[in-house]
Amino acid sequence: MPDAPARAARLGALLFLLRPTYIVTEVVTAAATTGGYSFVSDSVSRLGEVGCTAAYCSPRHAVMNGSFVGYGVMLAGGALLLARPLGPWVTGLLVVSGVSSVATGLAPLDQDTTLHALAATPLFVAQPVALLLLGARLREDRPWLAKTLLATGAVTAAAAVGFVVSGEGRGAGALERAALWPVLFGLAAFAWECRLTNP
């Protein structure tokens, strides 16, 4: 029977493996919008806007904001449960990212733009750095995974910078998703490896 640390690691791995389902919540929320929503041009945060106008409305905003909170808790919780294989720096950065996601869900864009930006910013900084550090940590033991994580960290960092620079310009939605979605799969790949090596 696995000991407590092994059980904790398996639970943490499960949380990371489930996190790519976050994308479904975006699709479900976007499908209900009125006035037109583009995954290429519009930010994810627009899906969480509480207010409605004649030009745009996101009736399922609670799904999106709840997703920010729920998946943020999964990120922080998974990181803490996988603290040993992740290492202290990566764990800390991912916990910060998870808390940032939770705060983003509690501060919808159209309610307080400044507060929303302050809540979301740590996520875009901490996640790429965490992936780069994790990739460097695994270079000797798991070279293929290390290369994947390093590449994912580089791509998401570049996309995050591009998203900030573009503002609400054309392609902002695509850049934001390029900064966020690959992290889901990079950490899931790490979790899968942990699951295989810690049965």
Average confidence score pLDDT of the chain = 92
User: What is the mean pLDDT of the segment spanning 1-29?
Assistant: 89
Task: Give per-residue pLDDT as tens, 125-176.
Answer: 999 999 999 999 999 889 999 999 999 999 999 999 999 887 766 788 999 9
> What is this structure's pTM?
0.92
Contacts of 47 by beta carbon, 8 Å cutoff, 6+ apart:
26, 29, 30, 33, 37, 58, 60, 61, 64
